[in-house]
Chains A and B, each alone.
Chain A
Amino acid sequence: MTESNMTGSDMTGSNRVLSVAGLTFSVGRKTLVDHAAFSAPAGRIIALVGPNGAGKSTLMRMISGALPAERPELAEVSLGGENLLRLSRRERARRVALVEQQASTEFAVTVEQVVALGRTPHRGWWAAESDGDVVEAAMQRAGVTQWARRLLGTLSGGEQQRVQLARALAQQPRLMLLDEPTNHLDVAAQLDMFGLLRELADVEGMTILVALHDLSAAAAHCDEAVVLDAGRVVAAGPVTEALDPLVLEQIYGVRVDVLLHPRTQRPVIVFSRGAG
């Protein structure tokens, strides 16, 4: 307890920041991500929002390092003052985990085997399997232990997403990237998911970047927001500032009003057609 407090107070300035800069990616003439740059406090939940095709998924992949930037020498994804893109792939995969929107396979693979994949960057190619405890804990945390021996294909979409989250937890990352993790979830499961993310951020100090299309969910559950439009970051900051109605009206092309949730006192963002 005291030890973590001390490390906490030691980390000051740039050490407590997730900083992204110089990320550009294009396919042919189409620029999917255009000089994306933002910074946000580490150890928080950061929403990545924007219309369909804004480049959220591409940016996620680039931040994870899975997709190399067009000008790697300019690219930066720093966490705690360390540029993750300069690390070796294995080193990076021990710090950053990515939960993709779609992850399917036609092979008959069990839930436990999927979660164990998260240990890949931690294991030597020759070492025997010895870190079952980490896998076990990750499954427990994501609430998938009861399915450990089931085949992934027999689970629903939402359940499969939880398995992927467990796999990402088994990577023991400091930065967790989630692409639309609540897509297949019903409302109760959505609240569970955000509850878990909140715990990871507040208790473990994990930095969480989550792509969402639901702006109200972003406003309700996230600390920070990054607004992406046509591959560019158009706003970034605390959710109440970044999710600015004027900015949102411009990029979504609809009327935007911000209400206050009667119980949680968090902003609720609603839309309407009409003269904007």
Chain B
Amino acid sequence: MVTTASRTSRPTATRRRRAGVWGWAIVLAAALLLTLTFAVTVGSAGIGMVDVWRTVAAHLHLGTSPLSPIRDGIVWDLRLTRVLTAAAVGGALAMSGAVMQAITRNQLADPYLLGLSSGASLGAVAVLMLGVGLLLPVAAFLGALLALVTTLLLARSLGPISPSRTILAGMTVSALASAIASMLIFWNVTGDSYREILNWLLGSLAGSDWTTTWTVWLALLVVGVPLAASGRLLDAFVFGDTAAASLGINVSGARWLLLGSTALLTGVAVSVSGSIGFVGLVLPNAVRLVVGFRHRVLLPVSAVVGAIFMVWVDTGARTLFEPRELPVGIITVLVGAPLFAIVLWRNRSRS
């Protein structure tokens, strides 16, 4: 009797759950769209939400823009690029954080854990300060990759790669890379450029344009989408490497692929916006508390929530103290630290 009952009730339960998932997906997508549109209107020049969409339509050759050329330029070239870059950076960081936490089996892991941000900063500083002949994003990305490889080689040399060894190695490489970057800045920076480099090190989206927009969205599509689809792979890591291997996972291959992917995403994000802290650490944890552990849901939701969060925070960064602008990285930490304390609190009462 009991078995029959549970067998008949199960498909409806699954269907209901799936319907719920789609419902939430629509809600999140709508929230993202609304956030993007609203964020473009915030600031001087008095632009309305409808103006935003008509301007976008005009640039896609669907109708004419209702705005003067100057205000059209503000919407299309300044605000839209900034808002879109912010969204993609937030999504990339949140997703990278979730992946990093899964692979290292550590809730406190963030995308910068393995030296990625200091490596990227070092690459960027090398370009800005020493005039190394590379595009800034390329240099930042190479720096991130170099840091990651050094971290993993160091972890490997300590014995079989384990989460705690990887984290220790990451901290070491991270400290070294930031020290070298600081030294380069200290020797080379004078006056105005100091402010510029500080802005970058603290994380800022002020330099957004269509190039940064395309770069980071392309990375999100090419790397983030397959990553989001690999949720089940990450689920299998929950009890460690042996357990994952006994479930048929190619553990070292999967780890390199996933770490490489997060390095790419984080490297690109850091290259357009500097290192923005706490997003990759806090958001996946907060999202996990709500949607649960399964990465097939966790990764896409983290990406969308990260995007929404970053757009709001960056809008605050550019308008709260107008005409002065704060580096967005300061605000993410100001908002993120209390949020994270709450996450820790709730976790304590749970376990």
Contacts and interface: CB of A to CB of B under 8 A. Distances in A.
Interface in A114-135: 114, 117-118, 120-121, 123, 125-126, 128-129, 132-133
Interface in B125-163: none
Given A89-B245, A96-B246, A133-B7, A117 B351 contact: no
A261 interface: no
Contact of B14 (A103, A113, A123, A129): A129
Contact of B249 (A94, A113, A120): A120
B106 interface: yes
Interface in B281-316: 288-289, 292-294
Interface in A37-79: 61, 64-67
Contacts of A136: 6-7, 10
Q: Interface SS of chain B: helix, strand, loop or mixed?
A: helix
A91 B6 CA distance: 30
A1 B351 CA distance: 47
B238 interface: yes
B68 interface: no
Nearest to A90: B248
B232 interface: yes
Given A100-B239, A109-B238, A94 B248 contact: yes
B218 interface: no
B65 interface: no
B236 to A, nearest CB: 5
B334 interface: no
Given A100-B242, A105-B238, A117 B230 contact: no
Given A89-B248, A103-B239, A129-B14, A113 B294 contact: yes
B115 to A, nearest CB: 23
Interface in A184-224: none
Contact of A92 (B238, B248, B293): B248
Contacts of B246: 61, 64-66, 93, 96-98
B319 interface: no
Nearest to A97: B246
B61 interface: no
Nearest to A105: B238
Contact of B242 (A61, A105, A132): A61
B164 interface: no
Contacts of B19: none
B292 A98 contact: no
Interface residues of A, number: 43
Contacts of B6: 136
A162 to B, nearest CB: 15
A132 to B, nearest CB: 5
Interface string B11-22: 100100010000
A132 B230 CA distance: 20
B247 A121 contact: yes
B51 interface: no
A125 B14 contact: no
Interface in B1-46: 3, 6-7, 10-11, 14, 18
B243 interface: yes
B292 A108 contact: yes
Nearest to A88: B248
Contacts of A153: 350-351
Contact of B293 (A65, A66, A108): A108
Contacts of A110: 292-293
A12 B213 CA distance: 66
Nearest to B160: A27
B211 interface: no
Interface string A214-252: 000000000000000000000000000000000000000
Given A126-B229, A129-B14, A117 B7 contact: no
A100 B235 CA distance: 17
B350 A125 contact: no
B206 interface: no
Given A106-B106, A107-B107, A136-B6, A121 B242 contact: no
B293 A107 contact: yes
A103 B243 contact: yes
A104 B239 contact: yes
Contacts of A104: 239
B105 A105 contact: yes
Interface of B: 3, 6-7, 10-11, 14, 18, 105-107, 229-230, 232-233, 235-236, 238-243, 245-250, 288-289, 292-294, 347, 350-351
20 contacts: A61-B242, A66-B241, A66-B243, A88-B248, A92-B248, A93-B248, A100-B243, A103-B240, A106-B106, A107-B105, A110-B292, A114-B238, A121-B247, A126-B229, A128-B18, A132-B10, A136-B6, A136-B7, A136-B10, A171-B247
Given A100-B242, A120-B247, A136-B10, 17 more contacts: A65-B245, A66-B245, A89-B248, A89-B250, A103-B243, A105-B238, A105-B239, A106-B106, A108-B347, A109-B238, A109-B292, A109-B293, A113-B293, A113-B294, A117-B247, A125-B233, A140-B3
